[in-house]
Amino acid sequence: MSRKKIALIGGGQIGGVLAQLIALKELADIVLFDIVEDMPQGKTLDIAEASRVDGFDVSLSGTNDYKDMAGSDLVIITAGLPRKPGMSRDDLLTTNAKIMKQVAEGVGENAPNAFVIVISNPLDAMVTLFQKVSGIPHHKVMGQAGVLDSSRFSTFIAWELGLSVKDVNAMVLGGHGDTMVPLVRYANVNGVPVTELLELKYEGDKEKAKEVMDAMVQRTKVAGGEVVKLLKTGSAFYSPASSAVAMAESILKDQKRLLPTCAFCEGQYGLDGFYLGVPAVLGANGVEKVIELSLDETEKSMLENSVNAVKNVVGDMERLGF
């Protein structure tokens, strides 16, 4: 079996961690692209020089030329800027849409057969734009947000219950923003509903159990902002990188994991021709299936709210000429 090749577009905070994680897992050879001269070359050289210590055999190279991504099996995109003080949402949208358009043209031309995972924000709009400009089929183009949002939710649940996070399963659907939908009813610890475990912890006090769950849901929704506030100079980068690697691994190793993915919906959840965070099976054919969960009325209306928020951003992007 020949080695796989992953191209990382954007060699900033997330791009660097992605390169290191992919190398440590020996998932693929790595090409790190950035428009900043020498920086991707420096980062990949630094990671490669740890290969003896960590014991990995992959090739790592940095580049400023899209041609070097030719033959990539998978591309992960983090090119784009985080919001700066004084920048309006439209300003960020315009700046990152311009970058994403360039990136989509470069990837479409040089790696048209690759699977693509977009991480750049605003996520749902950037995935939509990337697919439109690159022309790469919908089932091969997806966004990472839900794996991270779900991991955050799971982490908070594990801390609250004092149980291993390894046994927590929790899923977050919808757009990547304040309207995301953490699915409380489906959250469980090795099959035991979290709601039940909370009631046990609070000795049958249903109100207290609900209050604690509501607080975890709220913390999940603003978890990205919590990290930004602490870091002061940027946004989360370790956890988004880990999340995208889990998706890449599921595709390249045909694991068929059911992961919350920003995927193209064709009728599912009442959405047609639209990207949204939904549970999807990721395997050798990319997004192989979108799973439609049965939702109760509250969950449905929360998801509808999220869909409207995503539609607004995508609409704004189109209004701005993208």
Residues with a known catalytic role: 176
To 5 degrees, how large is the angle CA 177–CA 178–CA 180? 70
H or E element that contains 70 = none
Burial label, 166 (beta-carbon count in 10 A; 0-12, 13-18, 19+): exposed
Decide: is 146 part of the binding site for ligand A3D (CB under 6 A): no
Work out how close the CB of 92 gets to ligand A3D at its nearest, in angstroms, rounded to a whole number: 8
* Interface segment toward ligand A3D; rule CB under 6 A; list 24-32, 76-84, 277-285, 286-294: 76-84
Q: Are 201 and 159 in contact (CB under 8 A)?
A: no
CB of 118 to ligand A3D, least distance (A): 8
Residue 172 binding ligand A3D, by CB under 6 A: no
Q: How far apart are CA 51 and CA 55, in angstroms?
A: 5
Residue type present at position 253: K
Give the shortest CB-185-to-ligand A3D separation in angstroms: 24
The pair of structure tokens assigned to 169 is 């399963």
With beta carbons less than 8 A apart as the criterion, state whether 277 and 175 touch.
yes
Does the protein bind ligand A3D through residue 222 (CB under 6 A)?
A: no
Site for ligand A3D in 2-41 (CB under 6 A): 9-15, 34-36
Question: Which amino acid is it at 31?
Answer: V
Residue nearest to ligand A3D as judged by C-beta position: 12
- 123, 251, 259, 295: which one binds ligand A3D (CB under 6 A): 123
| Nearer of residues 150 and 268 to ligand A3D, judged by Cβ | 150
Q: How far is the CB of 76 from ligand A3D (least distance, A)?
A: 10
**Cβ nearer to ligand A3D, comparing 199 with 316:** 316
* Triad 146, 150, 153: Cα angle to 5°: 145
Task: Classify residue 80 by its DSSP letter.
Answer: S
Cα–Cα distance list, 36 to 20, 64, 141 (Å): 19, 7, 25
Which long-range contacts does 188-192 make (Cβ < 8 Å, 24+ apart)? Answer: 189/157, 189/161, 189/163
Stretch that binds ligand A3D, among 72-80, 127-135, 253-261, 275-283 (CB under 6 A): 72-80
Q: Check binding of 260 to ligand A3D (CB under 6 A).
A: no
Mask for 175-204, x = binds ligand A3D (CB under 6 A): -x----------------------------
**50 is a contact residue toward ligand A3D (CB under 6 A):** no
Q: Which residue from 282, 316, 275 is spatially nearest to 132, judged by alpha carbons?
A: 275
* CB of residue 201 to ligand A3D, shortest distance in Å: 30
Binding mask 147-166 for ligand A3D (x = CB under 6 A): -x------------------
Peptide bond into 122 cis (omega under 30): yes
State which of residues 61, 70, 82, 202 lies at the interface with ligand A3D (CB under 6 A): 82
Instruction: Check: CB of residue 306 under 8 Å from CB of residue 181.
Output: yes
* Interface contacts to ligand A3D, rule CB under 6 A: 9-15, 34-36, 78-82, 99, 102-103, 119-121, 123, 144-145, 148, 176, 234-237, 240
